[in-house]
Amino acid sequence: MSKPRTLVLLRHGQTSWNAEQRAQGHTDVELDAVGRAQAAAVASAIAALRPAALWSSDLLRASATADEVARATGLTVRLDKRLREYDVGERSGLTMAEFAAAFPSEHAAWMAAGGAFEGADLVPGAESTHDVQARIVPALREALASVEPGETVCVVGHGAATKVGLGGLLGWDAATRQSLRGLDNCGWATLVETGVQDGLRLTAYNRVAPDFTSAGSVG
C-alpha cells in the first residue's frame, strides 16, 4: 500500500461578526485583530505539518487566514468558491435572537435539526445541508488528490461548511455529524487515508495553537 495522504481542515480566524455571534454565510467579513493574531499563531503550527499544498475558500476571512499559512510555508494559495460557508440568505448579519424574531418558524426548524439546515424550512436564499455537501465534498476530495501519496494538504474554510464536508467525507449521517461541536476559530481537524478506496479516518479534531480558542461557530 502507498503512503496515505493527509487532509488538514482549518477554520478561519475570528471576525467581529463571530465575536457578536452574527451569521456570516457568504457575507465577506474581514478578520478582526484577534482573528489576525490567531491566523499568525496557527500558521507556524500548520507549517510544522509540512503541507505540500494549500487550498482556501475565496471569502476574505478564510483567504486572509490562508495567506498567513502561505507566508509560513512558502506555498501558493489555491482559492475555490466551493469551499465557502453555507449561504445563509436573509439570515446573514443576524444574531440568534434576531433570527428567531424575524423568522420564527425557520428558527424552530433549525433548532429541531440540531442547528443545521437539514429540511425544507429555509430562510429565503439559504442553502440546505445537501446543497453544501454537494459542492464541498468534491472540492475536498480534489484537494486531497492534488498531493502525492504521503503528503499533506491544508484546506482553509468555515465552521459549519467544514463540519458538513468532514461528515460527508466520512459517510456520517446527520445525527453523527451533529455530535461534533463546531471548530474553534483557527481550529483544525486531520483526516488520513485508510487505504480503502476513498476511505478516510479522523485522527484529530479541533486542534488549536496555544492561547487562541473561541467558542464562536457561526461561519
* Unique residue bearing C-alpha cell 453544501: 132
The three cell numbers locating residue 142: 480534489
The answer to whether the CB of 51 falls within 8 A of the CB of 153 is: yes
Which residues carry out catalysis? 12, 85
Q: Are 133 and 168 in contact (CB under 8 A)?
A: yes
Instruction: Give whole-number Cα distances, 91 to 104, 106, 118, 175, 198, in Å.
Output: 12, 10, 16, 24, 35
68 touches 15 (CB < 8 A) = no
The rounded distance, in Å, linking the Cα atoms of 201 and 145 is 16
